[in-house]
A and B are shown apart, each in its own frame.
Chain A
Amino acid sequence: GESVGLHLPTLSVQEGDNSIINCAYSNSASDYFIWYKQESGKGPQFIIDIRSNMDKRQGQRVTVLLNKTVKHLSLQIAATQPGDSAVYFCAVGIQGAQKLVFGQGTRLTINP
């Protein structure tokens, strides 16, 4: 089965700096990857996803990078703002399959 891990449970950055949150997965058959943001007291919210036929995908201030060779996924947040403070989860799945496997989350703290 799939297992998903994150390299750091917490990350602290200065406001305005870029943040990088990492995720590793184990199943080479996984081909669908999602990043979620969870604010205190709320459910996880979709940020961005990427499929295995891509190495990079950009959204508004966020970029997801996928390295299938080493089974590694990262989320980059540009010019971090106080509103970016949250727990970030990666989720991994196989397109057409029924389940996603979630990592444990990285808590991002923004220092003023």
Chain B
Amino acid sequence: DAGITQSPRHKVTETGTPVTLRCHQTENHRYMYWYRQDPGHGLRLIHYSYGVKDTDKGEVSDGYSVSRSKTEDFLLTLESATSSQTSVYFCAIRDRTSNTEAFFGQGTRLTVV
């Protein structure tokens, strides 16, 4: 999986609790992305990062925040989880300078009850 590790792989949490998902890469890629995947919606971009401490919003960023303090780690935080955030979350990396494709992690299945 191109040196991408997501943790945890599965999580069940209660509504209103904070949750942090971690993406770790060993490829030294500058660009990292968080997507969510839901039936009927495909992959939708939540946030992305183009360098340490440089992040920007995607199309479905409400209710999510991110942080990137090191090149290899990109964290996604749900400040107060809601049932609508039950989804499968994918992290991806991309080397924009070579215009290559995005490589995806294995995903984190999050259930908010």
Contact = CB atoms under 8 A, between A and B. Distances in A.
B48 A44 contact: no
A99 B99 contact: no
B31 A98 contact: yes
Contact of A102 (B1, B40, B42, B103): B42
A18 B110 CA distance: 36
A98 B102 contact: no
A43 B103 CA distance: 9
Given A43-B107, A98-B50, A99-B58, A105 B101 contact: no
B48 to A, nearest CB: 6
Interface residues of B, number: 26
B43 interface: yes
B41 interface: yes
12 contacts: A42-B106, A43-B1, A43-B107, A44-B104, A46-B102, A89-B42, A89-B43, A91-B102, A95-B99, A98-B50, A98-B56, A99-B48
A44 B90 contact: yes
Interface SS of chain B: helix, strand, loop or mixed? strand
B48 A98 contact: yes
Interface in A1-47: 32, 34, 36, 41-46
B96 interface: yes
Given A43-B106, A43-B107, A102 B43 contact: yes
Given A42-B107, A44-B90, A100 B96 contact: no
Contacts of A45: 104
Contact of B42 (A43, A99, A103): A103
B65 to A, nearest CB: 18
Contacts of A41: 107
B19 interface: no
Given A42-B107, A43-B90, A100 B41 contact: no
